[in-house]
């Protein structure tokens, strides 16, 4: 059985992440989504909230599990028995960073390979940070994130996601 691990912050999960999850779940027997809890960014959502959103959007995928982790990603991959780490590549701007991480991880543990799935074009521009900013102003974000994340973002920002473009003049 081949286990893969898809690590990230998922703060919150977007339709772009979901695309990578769906495709990876078809490629591997077992997919562990690793929710990073100790990265330098301060997340908007707690680890529990991020896990709950991921659990909801993957509930129909029987070979997907959600787990949190801290520490080195390769160590977590090792612990869950994953020989592959999946990352998504949106654009050339992701490449430098992802290459460095993949090469470092390979030096740390050469038993674990990183594979990259290129993003579906319709999701290439999506990032959790942009969505959070847009959501904070109350815009409709239903095209970008799954329904549960739409609701959770509006709850966090205490708005309804109804665009209200006031004319300045
Ligand atoms: P990180 O904080 O590690 O960048 P993210 O949750 O932002 O975590 O991303 C996790 C993974 O998902 C990364 O490989 C990232 O490139 C990928 N990813 C992020 N946004 C998208 C998207 N819109 N389409 C496909 N992959 C994406």
In this predicted structure, what is the pLDDT of residue 168? 59
Show the tokens assigned to 163.
């665009």
Q: Which atom of ligand 1 lies nearest, measured to the CA of 94?
A: 16
- The mean pLDDT values, 10 residues at a time, for the chain of 169 residues are 97 97 98 90 94 98 98 97 96 91 97 95 93 95 97 91 60
Q: Is 17 a catalytic residue?
A: yes
Q: Rounded distance, CA 87 to CA 4, Å?
A: 11
* Residue of the CA atom closest to atom 15 of ligand 1: 88
Q: How many residues does this entry show for the chain? A: 169
Residue 87 CA to ligand 1 center (angstroms) comes to 7
pLDDT of residue 20: 97
Give me 5's structure tokens. Answer: 């691990």
- Whole-model pTM: value is 0.92
- Tell me the sheet residues that pair with 88: 117
pLDDT given at position 60? 98
DSSP for 67-99, please give it: EEE-S-HHHHHHHTT-SEEEEEE-SHHHHHHHH
Per-residue model confidence (pLDDT) at position 160: 75
For ligand 1, the distance from its centroid to the CA atom of residue 117, given in whole angstroms, is 11
Cα 104 to the chain's mean position, in Å? Answer: 21
Q: Please give the biggest Cα pair distance in the chain.
A: 63
pLDDT confidence of residue 131: 97
Phi, psi of 67 (to 5 degrees): -140, 155
Indicate if 165 belongs to the active site: no
């Amino acid at each position: 059985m081949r286990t893969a691990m898809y690590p990230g912050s998922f703060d919150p999960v977007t339709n772009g992440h979901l695309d990578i999850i769906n495709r990876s779940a078809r490629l591997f027997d077992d997919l562990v989504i690793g929710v990073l809890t100790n990265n330098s960014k301060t997340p908007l959502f707690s680890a529990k909230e991020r896990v709950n959103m991921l659990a909801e959007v993957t509930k129909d995928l029987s070979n997907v599990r959600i787990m949190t982790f801290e520490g080195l990603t390769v160590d977590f991959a090792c612990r869950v028995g994953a020989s592959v780490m999946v990352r998504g590549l949106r654009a050339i701007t992701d490449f430098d960073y992802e290459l460095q991480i993949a090469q470092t991880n390979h030096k740390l543990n050469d038993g674990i390979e990183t594979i990259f799935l290129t993003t579906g074009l319709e999701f290439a521009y999506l990032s959790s940070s942009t969505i959070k900013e847009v959501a904070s102003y109350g815009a409709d974000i239903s095209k970008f994130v799954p329904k549960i994340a739409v609701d959770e973002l509006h709850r966090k920002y205490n708005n309804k996601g109804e665009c209200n473009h006031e004319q300045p003049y």
